[in-house]
Amino acid sequence: MKNIEILFEDDDLLVVNKPAGITVIPERFNTENKSIQAQLETHHGKLFVVHRLDRDTSGVLCFAKNEAAHKNISQQFENRQTQKFYKAFVKGRMEGQFGEIDSPILENPSKLGTMKIHPKGKESLTLFEVEEQFKHAALLLVEIKTGRTHQIRVHFASAEHPLLVDPVYAKTANFLLSAIKKKYKQTDEEERPIISRLTLHACKLVFMHPKTNTQITIEAEMPHDLQALLKVLRKYDS
User: How many Å is the Cα radius of gyration of the chain?
Assistant: 19
Burial 140-161 (b: 16+ CB within 10 A, else e): bbbbbeeebebbbbbbbbebeb
Task: Choose the catalytic residue: 11, 12, 54, 102.
Answer: 54
Burial grade of 133 (CB within 10 A; 0-12, 13-18, 19 or more): middle
Q: Which residues contact 25 (CB under 8 A, 6 or more apart)?
A: 35, 37, 49, 52
DSSP 8-state assignment for residue 173: S
SS3 27: coil
Instruction: Please state, as a whole number, how many other Cβ atoms lie within 10 Å of the Cβ of residue 58.
Output: 26
Of 126, 140, 165, nearest in space to 222 by CA = 140
Q: Are 163 and 198 in contact (CB under 8 A)?
A: yes
Residue 56 among the catalytic residues: no
Residue numbers annotated as active site: 54
